[in-house]
Amino acid sequence: MDNQQAIEWSSKVLMNFTTRYPIALVRGEGVKVWDSDGKEYLDFTSGISVVSLGHSHPKVVGTIREQAATLVHVSNYFHIPQQIELAKLLTEHSFADRVYFGNSGAEAIEAAIKLARRYAGENWSSDRYEIITMRGGFHGRTLGALSATAQEKYQQGFGPMLRGFKYVPYNNLPAVERAIDSRTAAVLVEPIQGEGGIYVPDHDYLAGLRKLCDAAGTLLILDEVQTGMGRTGALWAYQHWGVEPDLMTVAKALANGFPISAVLAKEKVAAAFTPASHGTTFGGNPLATAVGCATLGTMLEMKLPEQAARMGSYLKDALERLKTNTSLVKEVRGKGLLIGVECRGPVANLITRCREAGLLLLTAGENVARFAPPLIVDEPTIDRAVGLFEAALASAAT
């Protein structure tokens, strides 16, 4: 199936729920991918911050082959050694004592909301179920996660949203202080807003949230679905600020593209889930968790979070330098290898030009081009990508 046939068939047989770029990607290796007409691209999207070890990483490919030939699925009615190993790795390398596995970011958010409500109901009072979330945030498309996502454009047409969510501006501690009351079960926040436009909060923001939550006896839930697994130059973004949450959601890069997610929790909160209180058919199955072990293990072995910090600074500096040559770029922001270039106007056309020149980028909000390459990216590849972006900026300006 070539690109044109893929476009035609997509429009006939698939639900039209999203805008797709007019190419079909069929092969990948490291930071490179190829479309079905044979054209090569630098993939600075990583499949939306997912393929952090790069495409077709031998450790991931080998683990999938081996585990698929041994045992794929059994259900959570049985103990699953690979699941235990991944939970051990995650708890050894985070604040958490216990882990729950699901299949997608939204599913992890749903589980975190349920766990927080149950914890609050059992430990405080049955009417303490509200969750405070931040405007411009993104937590997923299922109804609970969508209700937590304080952006009208995602909620439009799907109402009514779930009760029990209160929205406040991001990076604004007084607003959270005013919003917290005796009904607040938790504050849910991305340590760096991703989909909303790559916004890094003020240095004291997370510590301030922690303090407010502690004072009110409320839980702090960090959504690290996009920022986790080394993406921002630390294994978890919260480590930049030395602030630990009570609960954390993780997904995207956890198994380098194999679907999986996790909720990490401190013991006292995790205890609110008791047998039969929650469940999943696929979540944490032997295949997904074996790939998760291979991914996280390789990442730690290669010290990829540290590498992401170094390559992120290199990329950010190079993008900053472009500001001197063009008035199109308004701001470059982000941390590690999650970087947004805010332009003076919509970037859709710019991203099309980049793609045509062989560089894949995504948006993060209408005016922001998102750079999120695999964490294995090196300096020469960054130089090439920035060169292509610079040329696209120059042609967009004419």
User: Which spans of this chain sit near ligand PLP (rule: CB under 6 A)?
Assistant: 48, 104-106, 109, 138-140, 190, 194-195, 223, 225-226, 251
Q: Select 208 or 228, whichever has its Cβ closest to ligand PLP.
A: 228
Q: Which residues contact 235 (CB under 8 A, 6 or more apart)?
A: 93, 94, 228, 229, 299, 300, 305
**What whole-number distance in Å separates Cα of residue 358 and Cα of residue 373?**
14
- Locate all alpha helices (DSSP H) within the chain, ordered by sequence: 3-13, 46-49, 58-68, 81-92, 105-123, 143-148, 152-155, 173-179, 205-216, 267-270, 286-301, 304-322, 348-357, 379-397
Q: Select 140 or 329, whichever has its Cβ closest to ligand PLP.
A: 140
In angstroms, give the least distance from the CB of 140 to ligand PLP. 3
Q: Which residues contact 71 (CB under 8 A, 6 or more apart)?
A: 286, 287
Q: Can you list the pairs that 353-357 forms with residues at least 24 positions away whose Cβ atoms lie under 8 Å?
A: 353/392, 353/395, 353/396, 354/388, 354/389, 354/392, 355/21, 355/23, 355/41, 357/388, 357/391, 357/392
- Phi, psi dihedral angles at 356 (to 5 degrees): -60, -30
In angstroms, give the least distance from the CB of 93 to ligand PLP. 20
Q: Select 104 or 218, whichever has its Cβ closest to ligand PLP.
A: 104
In angstroms, give the least distance from the CB of 279 to ligand PLP. 18
**What whole-number distance in Å separates Cα of residue 225 and Cα of residue 249?**
6
Among 330, 326, 327, 324, which residue's Cα sits nearest to residue 342? 330
In angstroms, give the least distance from the CB of 10 to ligand PLP. 19
In angstroms, give the least distance from the CB of 77 to ligand PLP. 25
Among 301, 308, 335, 305, which residue's Cα sits nearest to residue 234? 305
Q: Select 96 or 392, whichever has its Cβ closest to ligand PLP.
A: 96
Phi-psi region of 74 (alpha: psi -120 to 50; beta: other; left: phi over 0): alpha
Q: Select 25 or 221, whichever has its Cβ closest to ligand PLP.
A: 221
In angstroms, give the least distance from the CB of 227 to ligand PLP. 7
In angstroms, give the least distance from the CB of 193 to ligand PLP. 8
**Which amino acid belongs to residue 22?**
P
Q: Select 186 or 225, whichever has its Cβ closest to ligand PLP.
A: 225
Which residues have a catalytic role annotated?
138, 223, 252
In angstroms, give the least distance from the CB of 199 to ligand PLP. 12
Q: Can you list the pairs that 376-384 forms with residues at least 24 positions away whose Cβ atoms lie under 8 Å?
A: 376/30, 376/31, 376/52, 376/53, 376/54, 376/302, 376/304, 376/307, 377/31, 377/311, 377/315, 377/337, 378/311, 379/311, 379/314, 381/31, 381/42, 382/311, 382/314, 382/315, 382/318, 383/318, 384/42
Q: Select 63 or 104, whichever has its Cβ closest to ligand PLP.
A: 104
Residue of minimal Cβ distance to ligand PLP: 105
Whether 203 and 241 have beta carbons less than 8 Å apart is answered as yes
